[in-house]
Amino acid sequence: MIEVQQVSRRFGTFTAVDGISFSIQKGEIVGLLGPNGAGKTTTMRMITGYLEPTAGVILIDGENILSNSEKAKRKIGYMPESAPLYSDMITADYLEYVAAVQGVDASERVPQLARMCGLAEVMHKNISDLSRGYRQRVGLAHALMQDPEILILDEPTSGLDPNQIIEVRKLIREIGKTRTVIISTHILGEVEMLCDRVIIISRGKIAADSPTGELKTRFGRSSAVRVSAAGCSSAELAAALGSLEGAAGASAVDGFAGDGGQAAAGEDTPDGKLASAVVSVEGDGDLRGAVSRLVHGKGWTLYELGLERNSLEDVFRTLTSGGDLS
């Protein structure tokens, strides 16, 4: 339904979006995730047709957003990061004005939107007196005026307090049941909570495009177990760890810096010199018990055992700082 094909956007000599391609099917809720300046807003503005790509094509239901702009634009509701509301207007008047400009019958649609977006109690208040959470809801009502099939929300929870965030997310989930939604955010947890799929953008390029759940299993669950033991060499320890069922690999290391000091390979202990190694684990497995049994079984003495999970935050940091996990 939305096809972005090899799209780039330059501002002068600066390339903000650099040859990105993806397609979004009807009904998907997709998160555009990336750090500040990654190119999320520029991408969204191009999808809405408000900004022309320097290269590439964007199709909405097979039609070029630029060449058939009015028809395609009617399918899209857009809420910019700071919804440009007329703050000296009463909420109800503002929505009626938006309806009039967009050629929508306000008498039916405005009360509907007030219900849908939870605006009933602020309809007669001045927009300048509304909390940021309510202003976002008014912005959402504006974006939904023409009952668009596609909703594009630029950082919809930015600047909200924790309670407002929960409320606005709930609203987005509800609205997303019957629409295609694209949400930009730099909050990983938001994508996990709201989106079926995540497209990670870094420096104008796509760093990852994956169903949200798969991102977790592909990257988020790998872990490593740090082991220090006495009675063997680091090489012997690594070889033994590498043969454990579920181990993806093991290597000898010089020791670990920990909160309580350092365990250095070669350090003297009452049980002999300390050996250190790291064993990596694929998927959800936890090898700590197996490591403990292995070390005891070999007649060595366990001095340290620690689990390091590769969290989704780590994945995000690696993907958006030029690292490559794919």
Ligand X SMILES: Nc1ncnc2c1ncn2[C@@H]1O[C@H](COP(=O)(O)OP(=O)(O)OP(=O)(O)O)[C@@H](O)[C@H]1O
Contacting residues toward ligand X, per CB under 6 A? 11, 14, 16, 34, 36-42, 186
Which residue lies nearer to ligand X by CB, 75 or 186? 186
Which residue lies nearer to ligand X by CB, 38 or 265? 38
Is residue 322 within a helix (H) or strand (E), and if so which, with residue range? none
Beta-bridged to residue 309, according to DSSP, are: 223
Distance (Å, whole) CA 144 – CA 136: 12
Which residue lies nearer to ligand X by CB, 35 or 111? 35
CB of 238 to ligand X, least distance (A): 42
Distance (Å, whole) CA 275 – CA 298: 14
CB of 44 to ligand X, least distance (A): 8
CB of 15 to ligand X, least distance (A): 9
**Closest by CA position to 272, among listed 306, 295, 288, 243:** 295
The DSSP string of 205-273 is EEEEEEEHHHHIIIIIT-EEEEEEEESS-HHHHHHHHHTSTTEEEEEE-SEEEETTEEEETT-EETTEE
Which residue lies nearer to ligand X by CB, 36 or 107? 36
Matching residue, tokens 């049941």: 177
Indicate the residue type of 12.
G
Which residue lies nearer to ligand X by CB, 185 or 228? 185
CB of 2 to ligand X, least distance (A): 17
Which residue lies nearer to ligand X by CB, 169 or 221? 169
**Closest by CA position to 201, among listed 29, 76, 22:** 22
The DSSP string of 139-184 is HHHHHTTT--SEEEEESTTTT--HHHHHHHHHHHHHHHTTSEEEEE
Q: Which pair of structure tokens corresponds to residue 273?
A: 């010199």
The DSSP string of 6-65 is EEEEEETTEEEEEEEEEEE-TT-EEEEE--TTSSHHHHHHHHHTSS--SEEEEEETTEET
CB of 37 to ligand X, least distance (A): 4
CB of 322 to ligand X, least distance (A): 16
Distance (Å, whole) CA 30 – CA 176: 10
**Sign of the CA dihedral running 148, 149, 154, 159:** positive
CB of 252 to ligand X, least distance (A): 42
Contact in structure between 96 and 106 (CB atoms under 8 Å): yes
Which residue lies nearer to ligand X by CB, 205 or 216? 205
CB of 16 to ligand X, least distance (A): 3
Which residue lies nearer to ligand X by CB, 202 or 223? 202
Q: Running DSSP on this structure, what letter comes out for residue 120?
A: G
CB of 57 to ligand X, least distance (A): 19
Other C-beta atoms lying within 10 Å of the C-beta of residue 267: 15
Which residue lies nearer to ligand X by CB, 39 or 255? 39
